[in-house]
Amino acid sequence: MIRLAVKDLRLFFRDRRSMILTFAIPIVLMTIFAFAFGGVGKTRQSNKITLLVSDLDNTPLSKKAILQLDSLKSIQLQAVTLEEAEESIKKGNRSCVLVIHIGFSDSLIKGAELPLELRYDEARGIEVGLIQQSLVPTIAMLPFNLLNSKQMIGNRLARMAGINDPKAKEAIKTQSDHLYDAISDGILRSGKRDKVNIASNFMGGDIKMTKLVRSTNDNQLGLIQAVAGTAVMWLLFSVVGVGMSILDEKHEGTLTRLLYTPTNPVNILFSKMISANVISILQLLIMFLFASLAFGLEIYSNLGGMLINIIATAFACSSFGILLASLAKNRSQVQGLSILIILVMSAIGGSMIPLIFMPSFMQKIAVVSVNYWSIQGFYDIFWRNFSIFNPTFISRISVLILIGIILNILAVIMFKKNILKLT
Amino acid sequence: MIEVKSLTKSYNGRKALKGINFTIQTGELYGLLGPNGAGKTTIISIMSSILDADSGEVTIGRYNLSTDAKSVKKVIGVVPQEIALYNELTAYENLLFWGGLYQVPGKELSNRANELLNLFGLEDRKNDKVGNYSGGMKRRINIAAALLHRPKVLFMDEPTVGIDPQSRNLIFEMIEKLHSQGMTIVYTTHYMEEAERFCNRIGIIDNGQIIAEGTLDELKSTISTKEIINITFSNINEEKANEIKSFWSDAKQSDTSILFKSSNVKFDLSKLVLKCNQIGLDITNVEIMKVNLETIFLNLTGKQLRD
Ligand SMILES: Nc1ncnc2c1ncn2[C@@H]1O[C@H](COP(=O)(O)OP(=O)(O)OP(=O)(O)O)[C@@H](O)[C@H]1O
Ligand SMILES: [Mg+2]
């Protein structure tokens, strides 16, 4: 038994390719995910989300508040006028603007609701959600950090109790001083999280949310991402299966038998190409149809664009599958190789994680993957509402077709070299 | 009809063919008889233009293989040694597929497919997946798939390996029928009975060389011997072997046996037994072998055709 095991191990270690596949895949993937989530290197600073701030109040207190917010690690503030901000959001350059309305200072002192507003682009809901999440705790702490806290708490308590009589107020204030000491003592002793909780329970910290831009497709972004991302990734896996049948045929002897016939050998490859395309187109159609029926993805508004993108995607992906099969010697090699390449392409091309969550250098790398061009194409059609004549859309289709042509040429060369060789 | 001239072929520096020559007339059934690894499949592959020879020339009919491969492919049919069919397709679908590659028109194609299924006794199973067929049935379809375009020349590479007698007889009848219809057939085998049974001419191939060629009678007459006396000893050693071999004009050792050629068995046998006793060689077995392809092969190479 040990002898058998040793033999197996020896065979394995002799096959350099399967070694790489076994050990390189996990490492490569780990690295990519690490980069994607921004956990690598000291470049965290550069990953800050830029938040526009428009300070209409323009008082010393509002300026102090901006400084407080600016100290947040995850957010980079940029002060602009409201007009500039709104224009930038409507153009799609920024996702939202924090508006500090006139009266901010007064409200702060009075302990009233703060007139803060987040005007945002609905289509970028995910990003805006992140910003809102990180703003709330700081905003809740603003009164504590900016004011003579004792006075503020007194005012707040009085307001909550609905008392206006100056004498009564004075009495409350004396009491509240003691109360303040107790509360701040409690706050200081508690952990940071509790501090924020206490503060926001006491103070609120709400921001008014205003949709500045309504998403044309009512927030289908996430859906399009999920459908297109998954579809392209799975498509790649299934075309590899078709490509693999070339190797099966070689193994079964039917490939040799095909060579006995007057058929042109390259046609054997192209016939695989055709069947891969047919299968791909079917698969994508079914997936989008399903997304339409099950999740309400609006596919009928630009059916032509969708079909064009599907065909281009199918072509690029099929060529990829065929090339992969022509590169390898046997089934298991293709399997390993394809898993590696597909997962890497899917990870960097945005099939797994939407590109907006990736640092900018990752977004630049994305262009090397088929997934990127195809997914962006689907965004163009379903979300950006581009027509099929839009130059951006056309350029993406062209890239996909170009990828397909190049991979096809390589596949023919490798097929002649690796597969047709009988010696 | 077929002319093969000085074919050589090496695989990774190992010589598989060392100058093969033969000529086959139209309508002939030519047998290539040789043991495993002799080079039979290599010759068939080169003749069907899926493998390039290192040197040499093949002409089939009017066509030279190196310049007219496509025309050659249209007129030949090849039955590969390994069964090469699509297991997921039915027998009928397989036949239609393989025939279709030769541009046989649809109606004609299905007629021929049915006809062949009938001839091979598989018409009632024609809609079963080939994957569910027995080995012998697959072999039959494997042959039928090479016949749909009615090739003028048929290459059959060991078409009967590992099958039951029933399928084998059916295949033999088929081959004889095709032969009687005038088809030129090249048939490789390592079964001498097959070569003896129906080949007009036989090339005996070993180690990449044709070591003898001719009709069965011609081959038999190449050796003056009528029989071979095969004696096995229990205590043979080099010294004793040399002594007995020097006693006989034509003797070959094969393991613990020695083959003595004889033209008069009765006379020779007693002479040999007597001599063995003198030398002190203990006889455990004596076999008198009539001359056939097996003994010719043995005589030429000192090896059995099959191990
Ligand atoms: N693809 C190959 N690569 C390397 N060597 C090969 C290859 N094909 C055949 N050979 C070698 O060439 C020699 C002849 O092989 P070939 O298949 O022609 O023999 P054969 O007569 O058909 O044998 P069999 O009766 O076993 O089918 C053998 O020594 C074999 O090992
Ligand atoms: Mg062979």
Q: What is the DSSP string of B157-169?
A: ESTTTT--HHHHH
Q: Distance between CA atoms of A70 and B100, rounded to whole angstroms?
A: 75
Ligand with minimal distance to A421 CA? 1
Question: Could B102 and A262 be called an inter-chain contact, meaning their C-beta atoms sit closer than 8 Å?
Answer: yes
Reported as a single tens digit per residue, the pLDDT across A359-376 is 778 888 888 899 999 998
> By the 8 A CB rule, do A328 and A337 touch?
yes
Expressed in angstroms and rounded, the spacing between residue A333 Cα and the centre of ligand 2 is: 28
Whole-Å CA distances, B167 to A14, A29, B174:
43, 55, 11
Nearest atom in ligand 1 to the alpha carbon of residue B35 is 25
Q: Burial letters for A282-313: b for 16+ Cβ neighbours within 10 Å, e otherwise?
A: ebbbebbeebeeeeebbbeebeebbbbbbbbb
Instruction: Identify the pLDDT of residue A40.
Output: 42
Instruction: Identify the pLDDT of residue B232.
Output: 93
Q: Which CATH class is domain A44-213?
A: alpha beta
User: What value does the mean pLDDT take over residues A22-48?
Assistant: 50
Instruction: Identify the pLDDT of residue B227.
Output: 82
Report whether residue B44 contacts ligand 1, using a CB cutoff of 6 Å. Answer: no
Report whether residue B77 contacts ligand 1, using a CB cutoff of 6 Å. Answer: no
User: What value does the mean pLDDT take over residues B185-195?
Assistant: 89
CB contact B102 to A (< 8 Å): yes
Expressed in angstroms and rounded, the spacing between residue B36 Cα and the centre of ligand 2 is: 7
Instruction: Identify the pLDDT of residue B248.
Output: 87
- 3-state class (DSSP) for residue A60: helix
Burial of residue A84, with CB atoms counted within 10 A of its CB: 0-12 exposed, 13-18 middle, 19 or more buried: middle
CA-based torsion, A322, A324, A330, A334: positive or negative: negative
pLDDT beyond 50 at A405:
yes
> By the 8 A CB rule, do A94 and A84 touch?
no
**Closest CB from A261, A262, A422 relative to B45:** A422
Instruction: Identify the pLDDT of residue A291.
Output: 78
Instruction: Identify all chain B residues contacting A259, using CB atoms and an 8 Å cutoff.
Output: 50
The closest alpha carbon to B16, from B282, B208, B176, belongs to B208
pLDDT beyond 50 at B214:
yes
pLDDT beyond 80 at A22:
no
Least confident of A167-176, A404-413, B78-87, B234-243: A167-176
Name the band, by pLDDT with cuts 50, 70 and 90, for residue A42: very low
pLDDT beyond 80 at A208:
no
> By the 8 A CB rule, do A78 and A50 touch?
yes
Residues 55-94 in B contacting A (C-alpha not used; CB under 8 Å): 70, 73-74, 76, 78, 80, 82-87
Q: Distance between CA atoms of B198 and B45, rounded to whole angstroms?
A: 23
Nearest atom in ligand 1 to the alpha carbon of residue A423 is 1
Instruction: Identify the helix (H) or strand (E) that includes residue A77.
Output: strand A75-79
Instruction: Identify all chain B residues contacting A258, using CB atoms and an 8 Å cutoff.
Output: 101
Instruction: Identify the pLDDT of residue B307.
Output: 56
Instruction: Identify all chain B residues contacting A423, using CB atoms and an 8 Å cutoff.
Output: 11-12, 51
Reported as a single tens digit per residue, the pLDDT across A295-349 is 777 788 889 999 999 999 999 999 998 898 888 877 888 888 888 899 899 988 8
Q: Taking all residues of chain A, what is their mean pLDDT, rounded to a whole number? A: 77
Higher pLDDT, A2 or B75: B75
Higher pLDDT, A197 or B150: B150
CB contact B13 to A (< 8 Å): no
pLDDT beyond 60 at A45:
no
Give the pair of three-digit tokens for residue A397: 């289709």
Give the pair of three-digit tokens for residue B299: 């005589």
Instruction: Identify the pLDDT of residue B20.
Output: 94
Q: Distance between CA atoms of A243 and B271, rounded to whole angstroms?
A: 70
Q: Regarding beta strands B76-79 and B251-254, do their DSSP bridges make them parallel or antiparallel, or are they unpaired?
A: unpaired
Can you spell out the DSSP letters for A279-330? Answer: HHHHHHHHHHHHHHHHH----GGGHHHHHHHHHHHHHHHHHHHHHHHHH-SS
The identity of residue A211, as a single letter, is K
Q: What is the DSSP letter of A70?
A: H
Instruction: Identify all chain A residues contacting B84, using CB atoms and an 8 Å cutoff.
Output: 252-254, 256-257
CB contact B138 to A (< 8 Å): no
Name the band, by pLDDT with cuts 50, 70 and 90, for residue B296: confident
Instruction: Identify the helix (H) or strand (E) that includes residue B149.
Output: none
Q: Give the number of A-B residue pairs with CB atoms closer than 8 Å.
A: 41
Rg (CA), chain B: 23
pLDDT beyond 60 at A423:
no
User: What value does the mean pLDDT take over residues B206-212?
Assistant: 92
User: What value does the mean pLDDT take over residues B37-57?
Assistant: 93
Higher pLDDT, A182 or A307: A307
Expressed in angstroms and rounded, the spacing between residue B182 Cα and the centre of ligand 2 is: 25
Instruction: Identify the pLDDT of residue A39.
Output: 40
Residue of chain A whose Cα is closest to the Cα of B72: A262
Reported as a single tens digit per residue, the pLDDT across A257-288 is 999 999 888 888 888 888 888 888 888 888 88
Reported as a single tens digit per residue, the pLDDT across A63-97 is 888 888 888 777 788 888 988 888 888 777 788 88
Nearest atom in ligand 1 to the alpha carbon of residue B34 is 21
E-only strand ranges, B158-221: 184-189, 201-206, 209-214
Expressed in angstroms and rounded, the spacing between residue B102 Cα and the centre of ligand 1 is: 28
User: What value does the mean pLDDT take over residues B202-215?
Assistant: 91
pLDDT beyond 70 at A415:
yes
> By the 8 A CB rule, do A313 and A399 touch?
no
Instruction: Identify all chain B residues contacting A253, using CB atoms and an 8 Å cutoff.
Output: 80, 82-84
Instruction: Identify the pLDDT of residue A212.
Output: 65
Report whether residue B40 contacts ligand 1, using a CB cutoff of 6 Å. Answer: yes
Question: Could A262 and B73 be called an inter-chain contact, meaning their C-beta atoms sit closer than 8 Å?
Answer: yes
Nearest atom in ligand 1 to the alpha carbon of residue B190 is 25
Q: Distance between CA atoms of A247 and B161, rounded to whole angstroms?
A: 25
* Pocket test residue of B17, B42, B307 for ligand 1, highest count of atoms within 8 A of CB: B42
CA B240 to the chain's CA centroid: 37
Nearest-Cα distance to chain B for A255, in Å, is: 8
Instruction: Identify all chain B residues contacting A257, using CB atoms and an 8 Å cutoff.
Output: 78, 80, 84, 98, 145
Report whether residue B34 contacts ligand 1, using a CB cutoff of 6 Å. Answer: yes
pLDDT beyond 70 at B174:
yes
CB contact B45 to A (< 8 Å): yes
Q: Distance between CA atoms of B183 and B186, rounded to whole angstroms?
A: 10
Higher pLDDT, A156 or B213: B213
Report whether residue B37 contacts ligand 1, using a CB cutoff of 6 Å. Answer: yes
Instruction: Identify the helix (H) or strand (E) that includes residue A122.
Output: none
> By the 8 A CB rule, do A375 and A226 touch?
no
Name the band, by pLDDT with cuts 50, 70 and 90, for residue A180: low
Residues 262-301 in A contacting B (C-alpha not used; CB under 8 Å): 262-263
Q: What is the DSSP letter of A190?
A: S
Q: Return the residue whose CA atom lies nearest to atom 6 of ligand 1.
A: B11
User: What value does the mean pLDDT take over residues A391-411?
Assistant: 94
Instruction: Identify the pLDDT of residue A218.
Output: 45
Sorted by where each begins, the domain ranges of chain A are 44-213, 221-422
Instruction: Identify the pLDDT of residue A260.
Output: 93
Residue of chain A whose Cα is closest to the Cα of B47: A260
Can you spell out the DSSP letters for B64-121? Answer: ETTT-HHHHHHHEEEE-SS----TTSBHHHHHHHHHHTTT--HHHHHHHHHHHHHHTT
- 3-state class (DSSP) for residue B10: strand
CB contact B211 to A (< 8 Å): no
Instruction: Identify the helix (H) or strand (E) that includes residue B155.
Output: strand B153-157
Give the pair of three-digit tokens for residue A386: 């581009």
pLDDT beyond 50 at A351:
yes
Four-point Cα dihedral B36, B39, B40, B42, nearest 10: 130
